[in-house]
A = this chain, B = another copy of it.
Amino acid sequence: MISNRASEALAGGSLIRKMFDEGARMRRELGSDRVYDFSLGNPDLPPPGLVASAIRELAFDPPPDLHFYMNNAGHEAVRSAIARRIARRTGLPVAASRVLMTSGAAAGLNAALRVLLDPGDEVLVLAPYFVEYPAYIRNHGGQPVIVPCDPETFLPDPGRIAAAMTPRTRVLLLNSPNNPSGVIYPAPVLVSVRDALARRGEELGTRVTVLSDEPYADIVYDGRTVPETLSIFTDMILCTSYSKSLALPGERIGYAVVHPGAEDGDRLFAAMVQAHRSLGFVNAPATFQRVIQRVYDALDALPDGAAGEGGALVDVRRYEVRRNRLHGILTEAGFECRLPEGALYLFPRAMIADDVAFAMACTKEGILLVPGSGFGMPGFVRLAFCVDEGMIERSREAFLRVGRTFGTR
């Protein structure tokens, strides 16, 4: 009954979700206390107080059209609030007419790929990458072309990107801060990537659009900031969500921005709105569009500097504490692991070459993590640290046992 295509996809499945389901099974079997589940990037901190207040206000005093359809692109007020903030941050003339409210970043990415690709077109994906990107690309008949980052720094290599380009290359997918590596791509690296795309594109007579997936832009540590991709690239669509910055992953609310200087940008935007509708999203969830608008209104009413510009009001410091602690435990256990600059993941080297076998071995100690193979980076494993501090602490002995079994020191 199911198509060949779906049958293949099913056989592939998602390693992350398999681990998530395995975690549920293990918790039933061993009890929650003896399972250390680092498999899913499910922000577990409550949304910031402004979000909760906005929801209460809307619940108790709902505007009459709260749950109705609106313009497919979203409510004008929230689109304007977003445009104003981006314009202020970048100095670019970003207007509400280039902001599409989307059902999360995944919706924006799918809509963008739908309008950028014809069947057989190629999309450059930098490894390591978010596990769903190849599926997103294949949804629209595209061909993912994996371009490995430097295995030491996890940074994009402009030379390898240029070398991977063909006349069919239409899109470069960017994701910084990166899931799973936690690396922030620095501005000079992005500039080199832009120049490589332009140079090689000129030789090939093609133009590559950058599709930048930035849900972690506000989740950064050690006082770091993330370069403004809109200030570097022009043929670009930015997709993001409030899943991490406002801890609303289950609500599916985000937005996409078509760069004000993008070639044929008005048609591109109109096509995005149509694709977002016709793929079945129709419009971003109505109530949460208003929630976001009210959060921005409340932020605008605060005195200067009282809140982060980006709206990152979730308690990032608490994620930082957890990052530090889990990194300390892994290092103590003998893992080789960079300290992530952003996002919610540690991405250490697996202690044996076969990361899938290593992840399976870890489950014997009650530890759930995701093999790097799922992210196009075999030999590594991903651990989400958006988890309870107590679980991190309790996991120490289990990691030390893994270290004693597999470690080299």
Contacts and interface: CB of A to CB of B under 8 A. Distances in A.
A274 B3 contact: no
Contact of A114 (B6, B115, B121, B235): B6
Contact of A251 (B43, B60, B121, B286): B286
A298 interface: no
A382 to B, nearest CB: 16
A250 B67 contact: yes
Interface in A322-377: none
A262 interface: yes
A68 B109 contact: no
A250 B290 CA distance: 11
The interface size bin for chain A is 35 or more
Contacts of A62: 52, 55
A278 interface: yes
A6 to B, nearest CB: 4
Nearest to A115: B6
A248 interface: yes
Contact of A68 (B44, B72, B111, B252): B44
Given A139-B114, A271-B6, A281 B264 contact: no
Contact of A72 (B17, B46, B58): B17
A170 B283 CA distance: 29
A209 interface: yes
A4 B121 CA distance: 11
Interface stretch (A7-15, A221-229, A397-405): A7-15
B107 A271 contact: no
Interface string A282-305: 110111100000000000000000
B279 A279 contact: yes
B115 A2 contact: yes
Contacts of A72: 17
A77 interface: no
B104 A280 contact: yes
B114 A1 contact: no
A70 interface: yes
A102 to B, nearest CB: 8
A287 B59 CA distance: 12
A95 to B, nearest CB: 17
A250 B70 contact: yes
Interface in A230-256: 235, 247-252
Nearest to A51: B67
A249 B59 contact: no
A43 B68 CA distance: 7
Given A44-B68, A103-B280, 16 more contacts: A1-B116, A2-B115, A3-B170, A4-B118, A9-B275, A9-B278, A10-B270, A14-B274, A55-B62, A56-B60, A67-B248, A119-B141, A136-B278, A250-B285, A285-B285, A285-B288
Report, nearest first, the 4 A-B pairs whose CB atoms are least far apart: A250-B286, A59-B59, A106-B280, A6-B115
